[in-house]
Amino acid sequence: MQNVPHIATLTIIIVALILLFSCIRVLREYERAVTFTLGRFTGIKGPGLAIVIPIVQQIVRISLRTVVMDVPSQDVISRDNVSVRVNAVVYFRVVDPEKAIIQVENYFEATSQLAQTTLRSVLGRHELDEMLSERDKLNSDIQKILDQQTDIWGIKVANVEIKYVELDESMVRAIARQAEAERERRAKIINAEGEYQAAQKLLEAARILSLQQEALQLRYLQTLIDIAGDKTSTIVFPVPMDLIKKLQGSS
């Protein structure tokens, strides 16, 4: 019977230690605890050691680290009626733990659904060429819209990246034919510009030769040298017109 007080004291000490340990919460540097006392919001705790009164208080842990969320592939019809599948990734983080817990039931799921609808809405207002060539601008537009709409949830959308735009086989072949036609067009334009520049230079050379008879004679001689260097059996000898005129005059 003498041991009963000691047993009672030991039991009280054990219960007290259990209650004490149950009151202690350790929060990492990137964690915060949204605290509710009798169901009412009473503050944010952390990082470090946090004391929580059992039964009376409850906490909800929340991470402040950046979350990388993959947006599932979405079927999008562009403004020029081309059907594509688009995939994206969203980078966001919680900046206000109170709003992230109180204002929305599941901030991750809510942000994911909003990202999907925003992706379809924004891309549907652009043509296919813009989706392929102006991806940075589209990323910025989607990020701004998401950031504005998630602000009431305490979410900060830092960046949005469109990963790929998937086309069906028929559209890929059509784009390839279009690119080939564009290359041929540019080649023809370059060739035409070369012919035009060559014609201009020949015209200038002809004008210079017509003004200087000596230059014309030198050109004849150069032509003879070029012909003599070729392995041909027939040589065409150019006779100056003034020489022919002189011969006709003497006869």
CB 83 within 8 A of CB 124: no
Query: pLDDT band at 216, cuts 50/70/90?
Result: low
**Which tokens hold the place of 176?**
């390839």
Helix (H) or strand (E) holding 190: helix 169-211
Task: Tell whether the model's pLDDT for residue 49 goes beyond 70.
Answer: yes
The residue that leads in pLDDT, 137 or 22, is 137
Backbone angles phi, psi at 157, to 5 degrees: -85, 110
Least confident of 86-90, 123-127, 235-239: 235-239
Task: Tell whether the model's pLDDT for residue 132 goes beyond 90.
Answer: no
Query: Averaging pLDDT over each range in 2-16, 56-70, 127-141, 237-251, which range is the top one?
Result: 56-70
Q: What is the reported pLDDT for 172?
A: 58
Helix (H) or strand (E) holding 240: none
pLDDT digits (tens, 9 = 90+) for 150-209: 999 999 999 999 988 888 766 656 666 766 677 778 888 888 888 888 888 777 776 766
| 3-state secondary structure at position 126 | coil
Domain spanning 67-172: CATH superfamily: Band 7 domain (3.30.479.30)
What residue spans define the domains of the chain? 16-63, 67-172, 203-251
Average pLDDT, the chain: 81
Query: Averaging pLDDT over each range in 97-111, 126-140, 163-177, 209-223, which range is the top one?
Result: 97-111
What average pLDDT does range 32-55 have in this prediction? 90
Q: What is the percent of the chain with per-residue pLDDT over 70, rounded to a whole number? A: 75
**CA–CA distance, 240 with 31 (Å, rounded to integer):** 98
Q: What is the reported pLDDT for 128?
A: 84
Which residue matches tokens 């003498």? 2
CA pseudo-torsion sign 109, 83, 179, 177 = positive
Task: Tell whether the model's pLDDT for residue 30 goes beyond 80.
Answer: yes
Q: What is the reported pLDDT for 143?
A: 94
Query: pLDDT band at 235, cuts 50/70/90?
Result: low
User: Rounded to two decimals, what is the model's pTM?
Assistant: 0.65
